Amino acid sequence: MAIAALKGVRVVELGEGVSAAFCSKMFGDYGAEIIKVEKPAVGDITRHWGPFPEDKPHPEKSGTFFTLNTNKQSVTLNLESAEGRELFISLIKTADVLIENNTPKQMKEWGLNYEALEKHAPNLIMISITPYGQTGPYANWKAYDLNAFHMTGAGSRYCGRQGEAPLEHGTHSADYYGAYVAATWGLASVFAQDEVGGEHIDVSCAESVAATFVGGQNIGGYAQDGVFGSRTGIGMPLAAPATILPCKDGHVWMLALETAQWRGLVNAMGNPEWAQLEMFDDMFTRAQNSDLIYTMMNEWTMAHTKQEIMDMCQDNNCPSTAVYNIQDAAEHQHMKDRNYVVELEHPLIGRVRDIGAPVRIPDCPGGPTTAAPLLGQDNDAVFLQRLSLSETEYQNLLSAGVI
């Protein structure tokens, strides 16, 4: 029988958008109890983002909210009221971890910053995920994922063709990377909580991206010599083949730089006469003749599907790959065999497919087991049972708009 690795860990999530929700979802994937605190009536902003079934907006049917909030409970609290903040502090007293992505200024105005909360819950692990971190000139800027991403130089380094304007990056990549970093260090603190007590973990999404997307090569080159790489568009200008080519049903990313890889690709292509030239064993020479090589390769790729090309290249020790779209990935047999795509039942949407846990533990496979909650669906259980409010107190708070 599977064991929930984080069973017994209690997490409160207070945030909007992606980063805090995705971080707490990773805790929930492995058995932690997650209570998501949302605004009364409106809820988390992602409830209003969609996509929606049949493109009809509905706060309980957002695909974005669904994916980010499986395995969670939802309660509503108005933190603009003193009573709401008092209830929140009561909730924190019963928790091990708080995950939030508000500005430091906002948390301080609410009286819910770490210095205030540790007086009530000295063992609390508070994970704060923001675009720029808790300190510095930009700490309280009204910033989003795009601000954090481009703070790092990654947009100029990777997105677009050389000599042309940069292109936009992948949606919420900085938020997701920041959430992963936060979950990693948050889990480390949970396992050390009995020995070291509480902790405030300050995660900057910009710094998380700088450490991963930009990479040591660019940072080191600039630090040592004042030089750094820039965007090159598709492929590598100094080596070939390294490009995306069309094929029978889409595109393939053709990469074969090492001599053995190149010879494997030539064998996969049926050993055409033009590819037998000894000078083509050198990837730099191939780059100098890339127009010719890509034209000839394109004749071969257009005669095959992307999966056929990928399979033939794999059989010949060449790392070229199919460029899958979302439908390809969702329906891929490899993903199905690993149970990465799961089905969950939602009271309003019905049966919905979702992605599973990206990290597997043998005795705790992890992943979503319950659908995202309806707004405030767990108010009764949390406020009446966990916090032991009387029915009269609960109804008065409900009437006053605190809950």
Tens of pLDDT, residue by residue over 60-89, are: 999 999 999 999 999 999 999 999 999 999
In terms of pLDDT, which residue wins out, 189 or 214? 189
Tens of pLDDT, residue by residue over 355-396, are: 998 888 888 888 999 999 999 999 999 999 999 999 999 999
Ramachandran bin of 237, using left for φ above 0, alpha for ψ from -120 to 50, beta for the remaining angles: alpha
- Confirm whether 10-213+338-399 and 242-325 share one CATH topology: no
List the domain boundaries for the chain: 10-213+338-399, 242-325
CATH of domain 242-325: 3.30.1540.10
β-pairing verdict for 199-204 and 73-76: unpaired
Question: H-helix or E-strand containing 251?
Answer: strand 250-255
223: confidence class by pLDDT, cuts 50, 70, 90: confident
Assigned token pair, 37:
């605190």
Segment 268-275 mean pLDDT: 96
pLDDT of residue 18: 97
Residues 56 and 253: their CA atoms lie apart, in Å, by 36
End-to-end CA distance of the chain: 38
Tens of pLDDT, residue by residue over 22-54, are: 999 999 999 999 999 999 999 999 999 989 999
Question: H-helix or E-strand containing 250?
Answer: strand 250-255
- The answer to whether residue 229 scores a pLDDT higher than 80 is no
pLDDT of residue 302: 98
Residues 26 and 31: their CA atoms lie apart, in Å, by 9
Residues constituting the chain: 403
Tens of pLDDT, residue by residue over 305-339, are: 999 999 999 999 999 999 999 999 989 999 989 88
Residues 31 and 180: their CA atoms lie apart, in Å, by 17
State pTM to two decimals.
0.92
Q: Residue 69, exposed/middle/buried by CB under 10 A (0-12, 13-18, 19+)?
A: buried
Residues 347 and 354: their CA atoms lie apart, in Å, by 15
What is each CA distance from 173 to 2, 4, 44, 263, in whole angstroms?
Answer: 32, 28, 19, 36
**Quick one: what percent of the chain has pLDDT higher than 90?**
78
Residues 143 and 294: their CA atoms lie apart, in Å, by 43
In terms of pLDDT, which residue wins out, 166 or 201? 201
Residues 66, 72, 76, 78: is their CA dihedral positive or negative?
negative
Q: Which residues of 364-386 are buried (b: 16+ CB within 10 A; e: fewer)?
A: bbbbbeebbbebbebbeebbeeb
Contact assessment for residue 262 and residue 280, using Cβ atoms and an 8 Å cutoff: yes
pLDDT of residue 26: 95
- The answer to whether residue 174 scores a pLDDT higher than 80 is yes
pLDDT of residue 276: 93
**Where does 9-167 show beta strands of DSSP type E?**
10-14, 33-38, 73-76, 97-100, 125-130
Asked if CATH classification 3.40.50.10540 holds for the domain at 10-213+338-399, the reply, yes or no, is yes
